Amino acid sequence: MKKIAFFDMKPYDLEWFDKLNTEYEIDYYSEKLTYLTTRLAKGYDGVIAFVNDTLNSKTINQLYEFGVKVIALRCSGYNNVNMKAAHDKITIMRVPVYSPYAVAEHSMALFLSLNRKIHKAYNRTRDFNFSLNGLTGFDLNGKTVGVIGTGKIGQIFIKICKGFGMNVIAYDPNKIDNPDFTYVDLDTLYKESDVISLHCPLIKSTEYMLNAEAFSMMKDGVYIINTSRGGLIESEALLNALKTQKVAGAGLDVYEEETELFFEDFSSEIIDDDILARLVSLPNVIITSHQAFLTDEALKNIAEITLKNLDDFFNGINSENEIHYNEK
């Protein structure tokens, strides 16, 4: 039986991996996978890693020296992996789709909460404050939403928006056939959108795509939603746009410096990230800790596909879920 080291384990990970695993001896570690924790993987055939594990060249090379043959990512994104270092050493596999509905629905939940001030109303009524002052939102019907990225998640988000009667424009260098929405260039999307939602991967061409210049092109009072990757937005530029009210609200499930923070409890500590602290303090910002994926259906799919990826690797079966160096 092959031995697998499972890193950055959370209680919600265990249920489906324990139910579905019949082929592997899996040891669970709460530690994130970094160069300093690679010692825990010594003697294992493979590791299961997550989105905030640090899979840089030092980590990859140390795992290779310890005999690890495969890294099975239980996530879709792999911008945290140094693919050049892994090339011809360790096979990298991922879960490309686990529940696009979960992420798309969370994106709309963030926007609805921001627009209708649900977070503020919740806190007020708990103090028996039933005033409506400052809780005014706007109808979604007839508003324009700009969707950046029209993969599976983006397409589902578009369907949700159309269900509210919104006008949809979108940008993606890889266009789908016969869309029921309008593709535009980025500048047009920035200028015409009342809401902008990000559903694209973090690669060199998309890093900091929402920066000071991009915000300057947008409508006054635009809303920003990001459930993809934190590095798509230059956080300081977003903070400035919020302070000047260029951006009316932001719903963020990701943050560019989240690696050491998200998924953990720091409620009794002082956070030294001043930008994040300021964003959290703003009444027109909702931040969730990378939870958009977190549904029962998604957790089951993640476990199933991760275990199937390991099956394919150890059985010598070519898998479409293997990531190749020239893809990045």
* Residue 126: active-site member: no
- The pairing of strands 247-252 and 70-73 is unpaired
Cα(42)–Cα(190) distance, rounded to whole angstroms?
A: 49
Cα(49)–Cα(225) distance, rounded to whole angstroms?
A: 26
The catalytically annotated residue of 229, 260, 297, 304 is 229
User: Nearest to residue 33, comparing CAs of 74, 2, 1?
Assistant: 74
Q: Is 189 exposed, middle or buried (0-12, 13-18, 19+ CB in 10 A)?
A: buried
* Residue 260: active-site member: no
Cα(52)–Cα(181) distance, rounded to whole angstroms?
A: 34
How far CA 180 is from CA of 138, 175, 177, in Å, comes to 25, 12, 9
Q: Which residue has the tokens 């424009």?
A: 169
The catalytically annotated residue of 94, 106, 199, 290 is 290
Cα(328)–Cα(316) distance, rounded to whole angstroms?
A: 23
Q: Which residue has the tokens 């988000």?
A: 157
* Residue 87: active-site member: no
Q: Is the Cβ–Cβ distance between 182 and 192 less than 8 Å? A: no
Cα(161)–Cα(154) distance, rounded to whole angstroms?
A: 10
Local structure of 191: helix, strand or coil: helix
Local structure of 252: helix, strand or coil: strand
Angle at 234 between CA 187 and CA 200, to 5 degrees: 60
Q: Residues with catalytic annotation?
A: 229, 258, 290
